[in-house]
Chains A and B, each alone.
Chain A
Amino acid sequence: MKKFILLIAVKVLALSALIGVVVYTMMPAGAAELKPFDGATPALRLNTLQGEAVDLEQYKGKLVMVQFWATYCTPCRIEMPSMNRLQTKLGENFVILAVDMGEEAAEVQQFVDEVKPEFTILMDEDGSALAEWKVFAAPATFIVDPAGKIQYTMFGATEWDSDEMVVELQALMQRDLSITRTTSKND
């Protein structure tokens, strides 16, 4: 009987700890930060959820967020509304390309209907882009400058429309747009 009571006590403690862990892991990772990146920028040619071909090259001159995500990734789901707001705040010179990690169109569509991302969803069903971009976790985000070069990466979720993030991305967008314009004039 003593053993049984002890077992109940252990179970209750374990359950409390589990609840704590679940709550903690579901919180957006506020600590996630943009990290400078100095590697090459792979090509990105994929179809949208609706089947339209998209090439990263076509967004030269704009700041592009390429994010790899999956429907089963809880932090991805949590941060998407803030990505919608970021898109609104940064305007037409900012593009989000959200690449789904190897799932089927039907389940992605169900997610889209539910979470309502207002940006482009790309499908990487065979994981070829994942391999090219060396993505092994989600969400994995790349910030590609208007010249088409990856400037920053981030692993984990964040509040994308926080004041700090908006200022940082705006600075990158303006800096690189001016560089692009200067280069164009010189050309």
Chain B
Amino acid sequence: MKNYSSAISWFIAVAFFLAQGYSAAQDSEILPFDLPGGDIVDIRLYKADGDKLLLGFACDEGTGQAAMDAASVLSDTEMEIWMPDLLSAHFLPKLKSSLAEIPAEDVVALINAAIASSDKQVYLISSGGGSTVLLRGLVQWEQENPDRLDALSGVVLLYPRLNATPPEPGKDPVYIDAVGQTRTPIAILEGARTPNSWALSALKEKMQAGGSLVTTALIPGVRGFFYERDKQNLPENIATSQLAGLVRASVVKLKLLTQ
């Protein structure tokens, strides 16, 4: 009997999980977009009437539960969200190593499309290793568009993982080349309970080298990848439920940074 009831509980939990994802996904629509190399990327689009558009990288159409929920909330509060699935567009597995294979040209094309789509202020967002894809694309976009840098309003990076090589004790971190080559304002959110938090000031300093204004914030009690974790602690649970608010606050910080 105990096994039977636990099977029912498990089924209900799974059904709830799937239904929740289905509901957030229903708020969105899929927009096919032609990439420069001839492939087509599906963009999950959460439309909104407001004056801001958030373009997310890299990679999985935003199908993570927390990301979808946050996108849904943000679009309800007048921030349009675009989530292109660049990994699937190139038939790449969802692995960290796949990120290096996403062409910067794809990011450039998507940024241009987002800017051309409306008069909205365009912000870019990514997390973890996806930040490498975003920054590489941003560098190329800035190089191709030196006269209209203000067409991009800023970048939000959630716990960015930008190391070019594994960290070596006793040595300064080595970041990918794109770090320090950008001029667009950047807001970084990092968990306070990750060793990466100790490198935040070094990362900020490097990023500012190219001209980007950079603002950073630590989320107390939270580890990296907090909203994707299976076993969350209480602060991570709270931060996940407030993900949309954290993104919105970062956008406000970016605005203040440039005033």
Contacts and interface: CB of A to CB of B under 8 A. Distances in A.
A11 B21 CA distance: 9
Given A142-B170, A155-B169, A7 B196 contact: no
- Interface size bucket, B side? 20 to 34
Given A10-B63, A72-B223, A150-B170, A136 B198 contact: yes
A137 B195 contact: yes
Contacts of A134: 169-172
The secondary structure that dominates the B interface is loop
Interface in B164-201: 166-173, 193-196, 198-199
Classify the interface of chain A: helix, strand, loop or mixed. Answer: mixed
A134 B201 CA distance: 12
A101 interface: yes
Contact of B173 (A35, A101, A136, A156): A136
Interface string A15-46: 00110001000000000000101010000000
A153 to B, nearest CB: 4
Interface in B186-237: 193-196, 198-199, 202, 223, 230
A179 interface: no
A8 B18 contact: yes
A68 B169 CA distance: 9
A155 B21 CA distance: 38
10 contacts: A8-B18, A11-B18, A70-B195, A72-B194, A134-B172, A135-B198, A136-B167, A137-B169, A154-B169, A155-B168
